[in-house]
């Protein structure tokens, strides 16, 4: 069995491979040519849980549309979205290095929630699952934040850090799914795919 992954994320590709799932990647346009259907801008006052579900579902459904347009073989489309919630606010990917420093200063010494929504769509049917984890950062000094940001690692990641990389040193406590914080919760994703007939 094979699916389409509607994501650019190398972490999600690694985790699907770890699960033994064969896949082809669908890449959406970004920048000025980005598809409006996959715009990740939060709506004013949008709840973080509702936001992550909306984006994950939109990516899966847009991926299915691309399959139809390109007349590709019909297979399930899997997409995911990861966002952070700190004190009720949505924290996405940093827009630049200064924003990454600012985000990490806000996370320092606090507990935040990492929400990863996973959606699978196939033959007009979409199923969804949410992974919610709590991550506590130790106190970070400004020099180590700047040094980490200079490495470039935070720039394409929700919350400006990758738990599987150097930022693992910042994590004092994790309650939830390590792979969910990375961007694809393998347990929940496996259960979701079983609903579509996958056998592991």
Give the tens place of pLDDT for each residue, 175-196. 999 999 999 999 999 999 999 9
Give the tens place of pLDDT for each residue, 34-43. 566 778 889 9
Number of domains in the chain: 1
Give the integer Cα–Cα distance in Å for 142 and 47: 30
Is there a contact between 79 and 40 (Cβ–Cβ < 8 Å)? Answer: no
Give the tens place of pLDDT for each residue, 28-66. 766 545 566 778 889 999 999 999 999 999 999 999 999
pLDDT of residue 137: 98
Range of the domain at 7: 2-194
Looking at the domain assignment, is residue 199 inside a domain? no
- Tell me which H or E stretch contains 95: none
Annotation says 81 is catalytic:
yes
pLDDT of residue 197: 93
Task: Find the CATH number of the domain harbouring 72.
Answer: 3.90.950.10
Interval 80-84 mean pLDDT: 96
Say which of 24, 30, 39, 81 is annotated catalytic: 81
């Amino acid at each position: 069995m094979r699916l389409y992954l509607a994501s650019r994320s190398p972490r999600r590709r690694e985790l699907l491979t770890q699960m033994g799932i064969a896949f082809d990647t669908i890449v959406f346009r970004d920048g000025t040519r980005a598809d409006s259907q996959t715009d990740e801008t939060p709506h004013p006052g949008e709840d973080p849980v509702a936001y992550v579900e909306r984006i994950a579902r939109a990516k899966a459904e847009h991926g299915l549309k691309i399959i139809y347009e390109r007349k590709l073989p019909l297979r399930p489309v899997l997409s995911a979205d990861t966002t952070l919630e700190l004190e009720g606010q949505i924290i996405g990917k940093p827009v630049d290095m200064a924003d990454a420093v600012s985000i990490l200063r806000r996370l320092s010494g606090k507990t935040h929630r990492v929400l990863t929504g996973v959606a699978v769509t196939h033959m007009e049917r979409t199923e969804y699952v949410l992974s919610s984890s709590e991550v506590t950062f130790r106190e970070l000094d400004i020099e180590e934040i700047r040094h980490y940001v200079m490495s470039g690692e935070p720039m394409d990641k929700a919350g400006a850090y990758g738990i599987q990389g150097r930022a693992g040193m910042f994590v004092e406590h994790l309650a939830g799914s390590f792979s969910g914080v990375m961007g694809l919760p393998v347990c929940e994703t496996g259960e979701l795919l079983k609903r579509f007939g996958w056998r592991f």
